[in-house]
Structure 1
Amino acid sequence: MNFYGKIILKADLELISPLMIGSGESEISDRDILLNKEDKPYIPASSFMGKLYNELSSDKKKKYFGQKKVEENDKNVEENKAESNKFEHQSYIICDDLLLTQGTGKNTAIRDGIRINPETGLVEKGAKFDYQVLEPGNHFALEMSINVEPCTYGDCKELMKNIVNVLSNRQFALGGKTSSGFGNLQAQNIKVMEYDFADKKQAAAYLLKKETENLFSKYIEDNSMLNDEFRINASFQIVNSFLIRSYSKTPYGSDATQLKCGDKFVLPGTSLRGALRAKAQKILNLLWENKKNEVDMFIAALFGTTSLEKKNEYSVPSSLYVSETVIDNVECQLQNRIQIDRFTGGTIESALFDSMPVFPVPNDKAQLVNLTLTIHKPLPSQKGLLLLLLKDLYTSELPIGGEKNVGRGLLKGTKATVTNGDKSIHFSDFEDIDEATQKLFNQYIEALISKSDNEAIEEYIAKFKKAKA
């Protein structure tokens, strides 16, 4: 088709989990969110396009996103020379910054973080920090276009189809802590319009910014199920009480209350990841008899890591993604506590404090619904470890949050769905799993015990070390 013009995509992106895009400033927290000149949060086009590029599967993306010139002293000149000569030009794709369309952008919150020493289970000294997030409910306007030249219409249409399907069928997340459930955006009201400048009416419509026929139905494909994912979706009841600490902004509030996102109690993905990581390390130390190097590599490949060695700095992205989960059917109660002197048996002076954990409302309903754990491109041994972690959560063996020493944070599973590629397995109790499924799960756990994937994991980690070097 001899098409010359533009393919334009417009969409409304609703923020459905906290967003953290840092500005580099630290006036309000250790990491403040990015604001425009009107003091409103926005998503830079560079952040959006960078994430989109990584999510696209089209082999045309490198060509149409632009190709930089390879310098003569580049170590990879020979490898990239042919491709560079073929594709060297600026990007065909233009994208605006994503500005707020609904929501004030004022519903921000400060969240606290800590770093736990995996060996002692205690907070590392000086490792307390906080960061600012934009809470869900805000909407951002997306507008991007592809410049179509003669003889490129087919490739550009294929690329736009890929973009539409990524936004429509996948969980699209950007910003910081995306592996902990942050930055999830849900695309709504997607419009795809074509403007052929050879047609005077369409050229005029483009210049006057008039919308033409929405071709979304011709660009969308049913691709909602990804065969390279291993996903667990489960619901839980709180056994006793639950507390992820949030601190009052006034001197009259409680010393610690359950964390909220907006007006809802939540289990943040950061707390869940931390608990899962610590438990995973204990499981591997037990199975592999404290083989530190092998354990550290396996944990790094699944949960991600940043090496703290100055001579050998490298970062590995997480393969495990956890959700931020709303806590329903609970009530908050104030509890006063004291600290006892172990030698005298009396109360330590000025050691009176209180907290406001949440307790389940008396009914049969689950308090945490749709808690989700997902591994992209999983290895059998990684599936095995995630199943062991699920069982510990399910059977109240893995407490989460604060004040675990007084019985808080234990969960009891009510139902779960394990999605393995294009197959889904449903159960309410591990005893209810059929023989074929049990056999499959045992194969994954046996792969973990036998370290069958450790060589592949070592090669995976080596790529990031080499890239940094």
Structure 2
Amino acid sequence: MAEASVLANGQMACITKKILLEGTLSLDSPLLIGTGLTAREARQETDMQVLKDKKERPFIPGTSLAGVLRTLLEDEEAALLFGSAERGEKAGGAQSAIDVEDVLLEDAAIVVRDGVGIADFARTSLAGRKYNYEAVERGAKGRLRMTVTVRRAHAEKGLEEAVQTLADRLAAGVRLGALTAKGFGKVSAADVRISTYDFSDFDDVRRWLFREDAKCIAHGSKAAGKKRAGVFSVDAAFAIRRSLIVRENDVDEKAAERKVKSQQKKSGADFLIPGTSIKGALRHRALEILTILKKPAAALDGLMGCSTDARRQKSRFLVDEAYFRKGVKPQAHARNRLDCFTGGTVDSVLFTDEPVWQEKPGEATLRLHYEIENYAPWEAGLALYLLRDLWQGAIPLGGESSVGRGLLEGIAATVSFDDEVLEIGAAGAVEKAAAEKLEAFAKALRDMEEEAKEA
């Protein structure tokens, strides 16, 4: 009997098929997967350093990618594909069926970003909260490869469905690494494909042994991958009312010759509003809205996250970095510093910045995107209040807001939640049925009780 049981178990462990998921993984925004070392430990000037191999090439560890992909599946699918940590047969433990390879990034440029902690209401910098970090600039690419081993014991259909789900999500894009709530770590594989070696087919066995290409049976669907339950998202187009600047003090040679002290920050050939700037501005305004409506400010920590000695909470409010190029032009602007008492100019304090200016009034030049995962109705209402204030120019982005920079003008917006897609047109025009649904979310915020959970 024991021998028969061992034989049966051996037969169930027989490999019947190999499923390959392959493609080219592209960075759609900067990526930070850190070493975990401090600046002193790494003997570097930056507070956080990008993880690199022994040849100083940045890469995405298979563990990081696998961890993110596992969260995209339902519990049963995740256990089937990635296994479970439970011990023993009676506990239901299972071996992982998938092997996720490291992704070595080619043509990778390392950039250094910096930031500073800002006080919620005063909007002034906090002492000792200046920091900087490395990141792999967007545009880098790497070979994506995962191998699924199908055994006789597996529910083959379930495995294939789980692999297709991963392919769809990779085609649409996923977030991994650090600072994902602030626009970092967006990666996608538009050409992702699923191939198989069926070991009941002699030709497939020969292909496997001679390392020939497997038969492609499916591709990832970007449209299918974008469908996510429990996500409330806002995608809006804006014009810049006047000018905008997120300072980059390391100016180019031509600007230095013209005595320009700072320029609008760029990413490659595009102008850039970092996700940290957008998230910070939206959080500050969200706190003001909750205060005006006399709602518990602590509820914001459950939505936008917090990091204090007493508590750490991951953000469910995610923003994208804003890249733009057309419809704006950089223009130097020289100013004098004034004496706050006399109103006169201060001697020898002439400085020149180079913000970007809108060329044609009312023309969409940049897009902002933010979303809430596992949203509550009142959180969706808060997101709509933020859209309203961005639309009306009440939330400045970037620096020098005291002289009118960074104000936006709404052009069009798309609000998506569950299976609904609502459009907002020029001047905030929206259909009556859509307006009623949006108003229901706004009402949920206004009706939120003081004892609301810190979700």
Same fold by TM (over 0.5)? yes
Where 2:192 maps in the other structure, the secondary structure is strand
The offset of 1:349, in angstroms, is 5.2
Say if 1:258 and 1:249 are closer, same or farther in 2 by CA, change over 3 A: closer
Matched residue, 2:76: 59
Say if 1:428 and 1:89 are closer, same or farther in 2 by CA, change over 3 A: closer
Say if 1:36 and 1:349 are closer, same or farther in 2 by CA, change over 3 A: farther
Matched residue, 2:308: 307
Matched residue, 1:362: 360
Say which of 379, 384, 401 aligns to 1:387.
384
Say if 1:3 and 1:452 are closer, same or farther in 2 by CA, change over 3 A: farther
Matched residue, 1:187: 189
The offset of 1:350, in angstroms, is 5.4
Aligned length: 432
Deviations 1:347-381 (A, max 9, x none): 44553332111111236521113x21211221111
Say which of 405, 424, 430 aligns to 1:433.
430
Matched residue, 2:107: 104
Where 1:295 maps in the other structure, the secondary structure is coil
Say if 1:220 and 1:147 are closer, same or farther in 2 by CA, change over 3 A: farther
Give the alignment of 1:268-279 within 5 angstroms: 268-279=274-285
Deviations 1:86-119 (A, max 9, x none): 432442211110013xx421x2221121111103
Say if 1:349 and 1:219 are closer, same or farther in 2 by CA, change over 3 A: closer
Give the alignment of 1:165-180 within 5 angstroms: 165-168=168-171, 170-180=172-182
Is 1:163 matched with 2:134? no
Whether contact under 8 Å (1:18, 1:184) holds in the other structure is yes
Q: Which runs of 4+ in 1 moved over 6 A?
A: 218-221
Matched residue, 1:118: 120
Say if 1:119 and 1:219 are closer, same or farther in 2 by CA, change over 3 A: closer
Matched residue, 2:8: none
Whether contact under 8 Å (1:3, 1:198) holds in the other structure is no
Amino acid at match of 2:98: I
Amino acid at match of 1:421: D
Where 2:385 maps in the other structure, the secondary structure is helix
The offset of 1:141, in angstroms, is 0.8
> For residues 400 and 115 of structure 2, what CA distance do their matches in structure 1 show?
16
Amino acid at match of 2:35: S
Amino acid at match of 2:279: R
Say which of 421, 432, 444 aligns to 1:447.
444
> For residues 387 and 6 of structure 1, what CA distance do their matches in structure 2 show?
47
The offset of 1:10, in angstroms, is 0.9
Is 1:45 matched with 2:62? yes
The offset of 1:198, in angstroms, is 4.3
Amino acid at match of 1:23: T
Say if 1:430 and 1:418 are closer, same or farther in 2 by CA, change over 3 A: farther
Matched residue, 2:46: 29
The offset of 1:305, in angstroms, is 1.4
Give the alignment of 1:297-446 within 5 angstroms: 298-309=299-310, 314-328=311-325, 329-348=327-346, 351-362=349-360, 364-369=362-367, 371-429=368-426, 432-446=429-443
Whether contact under 8 Å (2:170, 2:220) holds in the other structure is no
Deviations 1:177-232 (A, max 9, x none): 11222111121322222223344432332232211210115999945433422221
Say if 1:454 and 1:186 are closer, same or farther in 2 by CA, change over 3 A: farther
Amino acid at match of 1:244: V
Is 1:87 matched with 2:92? yes
Whether contact under 8 Å (1:319, 1:376) holds in the other structure is yes
Is 1:258 matched with 2:264? yes
Deviations 1:394-415 (A, max 9, x none): 0111111100001100000011
Whether contact under 8 Å (2:241, 2:361) holds in the other structure is no
Whether contact under 8 Å (1:57, 1:162) holds in the other structure is no
Whether contact under 8 Å (1:117, 1:124) holds in the other structure is yes
Matched residue, 1:127: 129
Is 1:10 matched with 2:11? no
The offset of 1:432, in angstroms, is 2.1
Amino acid at match of 1:226: R
Q: Unaligned regions of 5+ residues in structure 1, if any?
A: 71-80, 461-469
The offset of 1:147, in angstroms, is 1.4
Instruction: Choose 231-240 or 434-443, whichever is displaced more.
Output: 434-443
Instruction: Choose 347-356 or 318-327, whichever is displaced more.
Output: 347-356
> For residues 286 and 110 of structure 1, what CA distance do their matches in structure 2 show?
38
Amino acid at match of 1:165: D
> For residues 261 and 220 of structure 1, what CA distance do their matches in structure 2 show?
25
Amino acid at match of 2:354: M
Give the alignment of 1:194-213 within 5 angstroms: 194-213=196-215
Amino acid at match of 2:280: G
Say if 1:219 and 1:284 are closer, same or farther in 2 by CA, change over 3 A: closer
> For residues 431 and 160 of structure 1, what CA distance do their matches in structure 2 show?
41
The offset of 1:261, in angstroms, is 0.8
Amino acid at match of 1:265: F
> For residues 222 and 319 of structure 2, what CA distance do their matches in structure 1 show?
27
More strand by share: 2
Matched residue, 1:78: none
Whether contact under 8 Å (2:193, 2:220) holds in the other structure is no
Say which of 243, 252, 265 aligns to 2:245.
243
Whether contact under 8 Å (2:302, 2:313) holds in the other structure is yes
> For residues 408 and 355 of structure 1, what CA distance do their matches in structure 2 show?
12
Say if 1:216 and 1:261 are closer, same or farther in 2 by CA, change over 3 A: same
Where 2:102 maps in the other structure, the secondary structure is coil
> For residues 29 and 220 of structure 2, what CA distance do their matches in structure 1 show?
30
Deviations 1:28-86 (A, max 9, x none): 5221212112222111111111111111225131244233356xxxxxxxxxx9xx734
Aligned CA RMSD, in angstroms, stands at: 2.6
Deviations 1:323-360 (A, max 9, x none): 11122311112222332233454544553332111111
> For residues 165 and 417 of structure 2, what CA distance do their matches in structure 1 show?
23
Amino acid at match of 2:168: N
> For residues 39 and 355 of structure 1, what CA distance do their matches in structure 2 show?
36
Whether contact under 8 Å (1:248, 1:256) holds in the other structure is yes
Whether contact under 8 Å (2:190, 2:220) holds in the other structure is no
Amino acid at match of 1:306: S
> For residues 279 and 452 of structure 1, what CA distance do their matches in structure 2 show?
20
Q: TM-score, normalised to structure 1's length?
A: 0.85
